[in-house]
Amino acid sequence: MLEIDVSLSRGDFDLEVTFAAPTPGVTALFGRSGSGKTTVINLIAGLLRPDRGRIALDDAVLHDTSRSYSLPPQRRAIGYVFQDPLLFPHFDVAGNLRYGQRRAQPRGTEAEFADAVELLGLGALLRRRPHELSGGERQRVALGRALLSRPRLLLLDEPLASLDAARRGELLPWFEALRDRHAIPIVYVSHEFEEVVRLASHVVLLEQGRVAAEGDVGRIAMVIGPELAGSVVDGQVESTDPVTGLAQIRVGHSAITASGAGLRAGQAVRLQVLARDLVLATLKPMGLSVRNEIDGTIRAIVDDGPDAILVEIDVGGPVLLARVTRPAASDLALAPGRRLWVLVKATSLRGHVHPRR
């Protein structure tokens, strides 16, 4: 368990954060810029000291002001990957990786070095200098260097923030591979919820230096604001079509068609379903191009400002969230207990391998 209970005041910014996250696994610190995400991981790393509080990782206390105790950063055995990879320009890739390996206690083995190189696809890059690498390649080297230091915790501070969408898409599978192969607790800082959906098993939502919500990804998805509000549901791949790149995914009592490149039958997956992407029908639809017509029952209706409501729909266990205007809700006579059909395009959905597979 990673336990955080800290407060810190710096100028006009006040941080008061308390949470407990399971280990191992990926805990995402999610929130807007300025919400305190980087400050929290700097406190965990020992780069900042809280005014008050306690930080503990499993059976090790890292900081406790009540005992006037603070473990020095270099003794915390924490790997830190920054937005800027901060590679040593006078070392080639192998030299940067060896630097991390020399920090390990006890010192890492050649087998561990070879494993990191294979895991992160660095074999063809070992003799290159940092200036010869792309942004994504530099981050993979930084990740390998941190991994080879044998950390008991990895801190990743928005490692994809400086990359464009295409490079982020290329790099995310490497982070998934690290998560799935190594039982190292990871704290992942991001303001991109797609990254959180793909990687995290636990989420801490920060707003203005406070914990606004904490829990599994599905719970947080319902409280993160109008643009990203929705559901994150678990399912299992029933089949894939290599020609179309689509997958049939069992969610509750329905088979949902979604983009599924790289998935295979039998895998446990996670789907993010945005409230804004759903269309509701009170009669069974016919003759539509939409691939998904999901049978469900309204569980609850929640106000969502003056113009809209959020409709919670039970689809056989999982719950989907749809945003509907008030006039549309009135015309359809939406109410708890009413049966309806949820329509969503296959192109709006993508299956991601579940973090707990």
pLDDT at 222 over 80: no
Q: Does 6 lie in the same domain as 91?
A: yes
Q: Does 251 lie in the same domain as 211?
A: no
Give residue 345's pLDDT: 92
Output the CA angle 227-230-232, nearest 5 degrees: 130
Give residue 163's pLDDT: 82
Of 221, 239, 259, the one marking the end of a domain is 221
pLDDT at 357 over 60: no
The helix-helix angle for 110-119 and 135-148 (nearest 10°) equals 150
Helix residue ranges, H only, the chain: 37-45, 93-102, 110-119, 135-148, 165-181, 193-199, 217-221, 326-332
Of 221, 254, 289, the one marking the end of a domain is 221
Q: Does 286 lie in the same domain as 247?
A: yes
List the single range of 61-70, 126-135, 216-225, 229-238 with lowest mean pLDDT.
Answer: 216-225
Q: Is the dihedral of CA 259, 260, 265, 266 positive or negative?
A: negative
Over its C-alpha atoms, the chain yields an Rg (Å, rounded) of 23
- Reported as a pLDDT band with limits 50, 70 and 90, residue 109 is confident
List the single range of 7-21, 219-233, 252-266, 292-306 with lowest mean pLDDT.
Answer: 219-233
Q: Does 178 lie in the same domain as 71?
A: yes
Of 204, 221, 238, the one marking the end of a domain is 221
- Reported as a pLDDT band with limits 50, 70 and 90, residue 108 is confident
CA distance 4 to 19: 5
Residue with the bigger pLDDT between 305 and 115: it is 115
Give residue 229's pLDDT: 76
Q: Does 253 lie in the same domain as 300?
A: yes
Q: What is the CATH number of the domain that holds 298?
A: 2.40.50.100
Kindly report, residue by residue over 146-194, the tens digit of the pLDDT.
999 999 999 999 988 888 878 888 888 888 888 888 889 999 999 888 8
Q: What is the CATH number of the domain that holds 200?
A: 3.40.50.300
pLDDT at 22 over 60: yes
Give the pTM.
0.83
Q: Does 200 lie in the same domain as 238?
A: no
Q: Does 108 lie in the same domain as 25?
A: yes
Q: Does 121 lie in the same domain as 18?
A: yes
Question: What's the chain's average pLDDT?
Answer: 90
Domain that holds residue 216: 2-221
Q: Does 239 lie in the same domain as 137?
A: no
Kindly report, residue by residue over 298-307, the tens digit of the pLDDT.
999 988 888 8
Contacts of 22 (CB under 8 A, 6+ apart): 1, 2, 201, 202
Q: Does 324 lie in the same domain as 185?
A: no
Q: Does 256 lie in the same domain as 332?
A: yes
Give residue 226's pLDDT: 57
User: Number of structural domains, the chain?
Assistant: 2
Q: Does 309 lie in the same domain as 196?
A: no
